[in-house]
Amino acid sequence: MVEKNSSKTLLSANQLTCIREERILFDELSFEITAGEIVQIEGPNGSGKTSLLRILAGLSRPYAGDVHYQGMNIIRARDEFNDDLLYLGHLAGVKSELTAEENLNFNLRISGYDKFDTRDILAKVNLAGFEEALAGHLSAGQHRRTALARLWHTNCKIWLLDEPFTAIDKKGVEELEHLFLAHAKRGGCVVLTTHQDMGIIGDDILRKICLEYRFV
C-alpha cells in the first residue's frame, strides 16, 4: 500500500436512501469520511441517526445506495471491513450475567486480540475495583463504561459510536473526547451521534452531518 496520506478516504456513502415504517428518513445521502476526521451525525429524535450508523456498519441494508470501505463495497469486503470496524450501538453488548472483566475479555477476544491486561484497561475507564462485579449489578454508567473499555484496546480505524456519552459523567466524557482526538491523530476516524455538547472537540475539528425530520 503506497497511499498512506492523511486524506485517505476510509468510508464513503453513495446515494443512501433509507425508508422506515413507510417514511423516508433520508434520501440520496452521499458523503465521504477521511482518515483523521471526527464526524457527528446530528438531528432530532427519529431523524434516522441510528439507522444511518447501522447502515454504515453493514448491519442494515439501505433501501438504495451503498457504502464503500476504501473503495470496496462493505457487503462484499465484509471480512476486511469488520476487521477494521469498531461499532458500539445504543445496546451495549454487555452480558449482565458476566463480570466486567469477563465481558471485556470476551469482547476483546472475539474481536481477535490475544494478549491484553483486562485489569489495566478497566482501570482506564475507572472500573478498578469492579472487575469481579457482575455487569448486571453495575450502575448504568459503569455498564456503559464496560462496553466503552474496548476503545482503549483496539487498532480498528473506523469507530462508529451510537450515543457513546449516554450515562457517562462529565469527566468520562472529557476522557472519551481526548481518546477520540488521539484516535483521529493516529489516522482513524470517529463517527458518532450525540445530543450532548462536546467541550474539547471544538467546532473547528468536528464535522457535522445534519439529518432533518421529514414528514412524508
Contact set with another protein (CB under 8 A): 57-61, 79, 82-83, 85, 87, 89-98, 102, 106-107, 109-116, 153-155
Distances (CA, A) of 184 to 88, 157, 178: 17, 9, 10
Identify which of residues 13 and 92 has a Cβ nearer to another protein in the complex: 92
How far is 111 from 124, CA to CA, in rounded Å? 19
> Phi and psi dihedrals of 116, rounded to 5?
-160, 160
- Name the minimum Å distance from CB 197 to another protein: 26
Identify which of residues 87 and 130 has a Cβ nearer to another protein in the complex: 87
- Name the minimum Å distance from CB 91 to another protein: 3
- Name the minimum Å distance from CB 68 to another protein: 17
DSSP string over 43-60: --TTSSHHHHHHHHHTSS
Identify which of residues 98 and 205 has a Cβ nearer to another protein in the complex: 98
Q: Which has the closest alpha carbon to 39: 147, 214, 212, 183?
A: 183
Residue with cell 445496546: 91
Q: Which has the closest alpha carbon to 24: 32, 13, 16, 34?
A: 16
Identify which of residues 7 and 96 has a Cβ nearer to another protein in the complex: 96
- Name the minimum Å distance from CB 154 to another protein: 7
- Name the minimum Å distance from CB 172 to another protein: 20
Identify which of residues 55 and 201 has a Cβ nearer to another protein in the complex: 55
